[in-house]
Amino acid sequence: MALPIGTTVRAFAPASVSNLGSGFDVLGLAVDGAGDTVLARRIAEPGVRLDAVRGDGGVLPTTAEANTAGIAAKATLELAGVDIGVALELDKGLPIGSGLGSSAASAVAASWAVNLLLGKPLRKRDLIEACLEAEAAIAGRHADNVAPSLLGGLVLVRRVDPLDVVRLPVPQGLVLAVITPDLVVHTKMAREVLPDAIPLPSLVSNTADIAAFVTACFTGDLTLFARSIGDAVVAPKRTELIRGGAHAIEAALAAGALGSSVSGAGPSLFAFCRSQRQAEHVARAAQDALRANGVESRVLLSPADCPGVRQV
């Protein structure tokens, strides 16, 4: 049952780190401490309205039809088969174009807020499809950000059409350091540097690494985990787009990170660490390396196993 007209709910959707080395377009991980918030109010007139977008520096579309929050809200209503009216206010807590699933977080927060207004007829898993529609309109039809932002934790997107998503366990106690250089890398540009064709040995290397990564997630073997965060295909190309990126990854590894690479389209970098203390040390090392290249950066530390979208 939908809540009465005038009711408001608020949902927070976390940022997400995608790819994680060899999992280009198929692996994503929810992050804590950064994300987007959507306030949804039930209104009398049917349809979705976007009343406010804050924290984006004025760069995001402000109509419900063009903003991922509005698109996902509308798709959620359609998925639920309910024709109520919803007014949204979006608070961006995530930098745009940072490789941390900013557009996905907006979509997920809006989708969950609408589902809450409807009395929760749908499960989080059902909402992936609605959020994917929003992503498809803006960033490409991939679910490796919306799925972890919805479900939390580590998610494998086996297929997008038809959707086939599996949650994976995260080795206990890991801490993720996310370093976001103060640079803009557009998703489109990050897609354009990708090779159209890759050599067969790179396929072998990446399939071997993702298989080992998944194995390590189940067994908790951190040395195997550390060996498996490699990518012969995508990360090297995207790292080239990030001034100081290669140095920062090297510095993170030298400082003890289990693995480090580019998150999604970049420029954010991530590093898996064994403890909070190590993560602080690793983040500092990566920041120093970026600074030596003239690039300032922000750091986010998060447990590696985090919840997904929730009411706040």
Q: How far is the CB of 208 from a copy of itself (least distance, A)?
A: 4
Q: What CA–CA distance (Å, rounded) separates 156 from 147?
A: 8
The one segment of 126-134, 226-234, 267-275, 285-293 that binds a copy of itself by CB under 8 A: 226-234
| Contact status: 208 vs a copy of itself (CB under 8 A) | yes
Contact between 104 and 155 (Cβ < 8 Å): no
| Interface map 250-279 toward a copy of itself (x if CB under 8 A) | ------------------------------
Contact between 273 and 143 (Cβ < 8 Å): no
Q: What is the DSSP letter of 282?
A: H
| Contact status: 237 vs a copy of itself (CB under 8 A) | no
Residue 254 phi/psi, 5-degree rounding, is: -65, -30
Contact between 309 and 109 (Cβ < 8 Å): yes
Rounded alpha-carbon distances, angstroms, from residue 146 to 75, 298, 307 = 14, 23, 13
| Contact status: 122 vs a copy of itself (CB under 8 A) | no
Rounded to the nearest 10°, the torsion over CA 265, 269, 274, 279 is -150
Q: Rule CB under 8 A: choose which of 3, 25, 173, 243 binds a copy of itself.
A: 25
Residue for token pair 């983040």: 283
| Contact status: 172 vs a copy of itself (CB under 8 A) | no
Residue for token pair 């550390």: 226
| Contact status: 305 vs a copy of itself (CB under 8 A) | no
Which entry of 129, 133, 135, 239 is annotated as an active-site residue?
135
Contact between 128 and 163 (Cβ < 8 Å): yes
Q: How far is the CB of 19 from a copy of itself (least distance, A)?
A: 10
For residue 45, with 0-12 CB atoms within 10 Å meaning exposed, 13-18 middle and 19 or more buried, which class applies? Answer: exposed
Q: What CA–CA distance (Å, rounded) separates 245 from 261?
A: 9
239 tagged catalytic: no
Question: Closer to a copy of itself at the Cβ: 2 or 198?
Answer: 198
Contact between 285 and 255 (Cβ < 8 Å): yes
Q: Rule CB under 8 A: choose which of 8, 62, 202, 293 binds a copy of itself.
A: 202
Count residues contacting a copy of itself (CB under 8 A)? 38
Rounded alpha-carbon distances, angstroms, from residue 310 to 37, 170, 177 = 10, 20, 22
Q: How far is the CB of 232 from a copy of itself (least distance, A)?
A: 10
**Contacts to a copy of itself from residues 176-195, by CB under 8 A:** 194-195
Q: Rule CB under 8 A: choose which of 5, 63, 65, 218 binds a copy of itself.
A: 218
The one segment of 8-16, 180-188, 206-214, 291-299 that binds a copy of itself by CB under 8 A: 206-214
- Closest C-alpha to 234, from 204, 258, 253, 261: 261
Q: Identify the helix (H) or strand (E) that includes residue 75.
A: helix 68-80
| Contact status: 207 vs a copy of itself (CB under 8 A) | yes
Q: Identify the helix (H) or strand (E) that includes residue 114.
A: helix 102-117
| Contact status: 132 vs a copy of itself (CB under 8 A) | no
Question: Closer to a copy of itself at the Cβ: 25 or 32?
Answer: 25
187 tagged catalytic: yes
Which entry of 187, 192, 223, 240 is annotated as an active-site residue?
187
Q: Rule CB under 8 A: choose which of 157, 229, 265, 271 binds a copy of itself.
A: 157
Residue 145, token pair as written in the block: 């950000």
**Site residues (CB under 8 A) for a copy of itself?**
22-27, 156-159, 164, 166, 168, 194-200, 202-204, 206-215, 218, 224, 227-228, 233
- Residues recognised as catalytic: 135, 187
